[in-house]
Amino acid sequence: MTTGTPNTSDRGAAYLTECAKAVKASVDLPIQAQCEPPDDFAWFDRLHAAGVDSLGMHLEAADPDVRSRIMPGKASVPLDYYFEAFAAAVRVFGRGQVSTYLLAGLGDRAETILAMCDRLIAIGVYPFVVPFVPITGTPLANHPSPSSEFMYPLYQQIGTKLKQAGLSSADIKAGCAKCGACSAISQFE
Ligand code: SF4
């Protein structure tokens, strides 16, 4: 369940809370909510209380320069603030129930992605590393996907890190890492 990035200080958390409540009132489906770090981390408790089982807050890219170039708006939220939010969210949702998208192929070096994965895994956040896929009609329509020579060793090394940390997509209650259709990472855990 996602919102995009609405121009509100709660970053869509209030709307997601209402939506999760309404869905859970009708059907007991596991729900992952996806939003950007809200201004008030009490939203994590409210989302959880509304029935959200897992949370995604997506970095998209790791290197601050790549972030600024690819997504200048989102990059205005500092990485340190994401990490404060990750830590607060893991306290509410639990280790391995908070995840983040990292899109390989937007300009991050493999070492940068791996270092970011180390940092995320250390605090119990699952790094959902996904190869960028261009979409016709978007500003990055002509931006290439990363090669399998880039992705395979990346997956292998992240898989080893996940194994060592005991983080598994199978244990995630809902969401993209649970689905896994956009990434082969679960095959390497
Ligand atoms: S297909 Fe699966 S992994 Fe991809 S965006 Fe949808 S839920 Fe997430």
| Residue 72 within any structural domain of the chain | yes
Q: How far is the CA of 175 from the centre of ligand 1 (A)?
A: 7
Give strand pairing partners of 130: 103
| Residue 7 DSSP class | S
Task: Give the domain CATH number at 50.
Answer: 3.20.20.70
Q: What is the pLDDT of residues 130-159, one digit of tens each?
A: 999 999 999 999 999 999 999 999 999 999
In a domain, 4, yes or no: no
Domain membership of residue 160 (yes or no) is yes
Establish if 54 belongs to a structural domain.
yes
Task: With CA atoms as reference, report the closest residue to 47 among 89, 95, 80.
Answer: 89
pLDDT, mean over the chain: 96
1 in any annotated domain: no
Closest residue to atom 8 of ligand 1, CA basis:
176
Does residue 7 surpass a pLDDT of 90?
A: no
- Tell me whether residue 145 is in a domain: yes
Tell me the C-alpha distance between 130 and 184, whole Å. Answer: 8
Ligand 1 nearest-atom number relative to CA 180: 3
Are 52 and 16 in contact, with CB atoms under 8 Å apart?
A: yes
In this predicted model, what pLDDT tens digit does every residue of 69-94 receive, in sequence order?
A: 999 989 999 999 999 999 999 999 99
Domain that holds residue 106: 13-188
Whose alpha carbon is nearest atom 5 of ligand 1? 176
Backbone φ and ψ of 42, nearest 5°: -60, -20
Helix (H) or strand (E) holding 15: helix 13-26
- Number of structural domains (the chain) is 1
Asked if residue 150 belongs to a domain, the reply is yes
- Ligand 1 pocket, residues with Cβ under 6 angstroms: 176, 179, 181-182
Tens digits of per-residue pLDDT, 103-118? 999 999 999 999 999 9
Q: How far is the CA of 179 from the centre of ligand 1 (A)?
A: 6
Determine which residue's CA is closest to atom 1 belonging to ligand 1.
181
